[in-house]
Amino acid sequence: MDALTSTSLLGSLTATATTFGLIFLAEIGDKSQLVCMALAARHRHRPVLLGALAAFVVLNGLAVVFGAGLAHWVPERVLAAVVAVLFAVFGLLSLRAEEHDETEEPKTFSGHGLFVTTFLMIFLAEMGDKTQLAVAGMTGTLPAVSVWIGATLALGATSALGVFVGRRLLRHIPLHRLHQISGLLFLLFAAFAATKVF
């Protein structure tokens, strides 16, 4: 393996890890994870998890295609500025999370076709959500495949936590603290994107 291939591989792995960490923290306690918790509490776990994973594969694919398309049509400096603003807004909103935000309960849903039900609920809940916009934004500055892999793994992991671990995590770390940590990461990523503007 030559130095160029090694550097490219390292860059791809770094982009995947960055995307994973950011999306994972941003999605902890979000509505898609709450939907998984609610469905898994009343139904079989496997169809819930598979339905959520399928929804995130499609959603992240759409976000990456949209973000990659923007990268070809919009100058890099303009795109970087937009991404910086988006991440700064997400970061500030996440930092404002307070303890009373943890009391919101998800609506449960019962019916046949649990896989399809979970897929549709997650797909509709996350379409245009901050994480999908974040994935689209990151595609403008990071390798598209790495962003897709990192985001899909992160959202799959948060869904698995929602299904298998449930509320145990929230007994140890308050939800609003997790949102605030994700807010700091969003702001750091905004600062990184802003460096490409100047």
| The length of the chain, given as a count of residues | 198
**Distance (Å, whole) CA 183 – CA 96:** 9
Residue 161 in any domain: the answer is yes
- pLDDT at position 149, please? 94
Residue 98 in any domain: the answer is yes
116-170: pLDDT as tens digits: 888 887 887 777 677 877 888 888 788 889 999 999 999 999 898 888 765 555 5
59-69: pLDDT as tens digits: 888 888 876 66
Residue 82 in any domain: the answer is yes
Residue 2 in any domain: the answer is no
80 has pLDDT over 60? yes
Residue 90 in any domain: the answer is yes
Q: Which of 40-54, 141-155, 169-183 has the highest mean pLDDT?
A: 141-155
Q: For the chain, give the mean pLDDT.
A: 76
Instruction: Judge contact between 27 and 155, C-beta under 8 A.
Output: yes
Q: How many domains does the chain have?
A: 1
Which residue range(s) make up the domain with 163? 11-195
Residue 1 in any domain: the answer is no
Instruction: Judge contact between 98 and 152, C-beta under 8 A.
Output: no
Residue 6 in any domain: the answer is no
198 has pLDDT over 50? yes
Instruction: Judge contact between 185 and 23, C-beta under 8 A.
Output: no
Residue 97 in any domain: the answer is yes
**Distance (Å, whole) CA 27 – CA 58:** 17
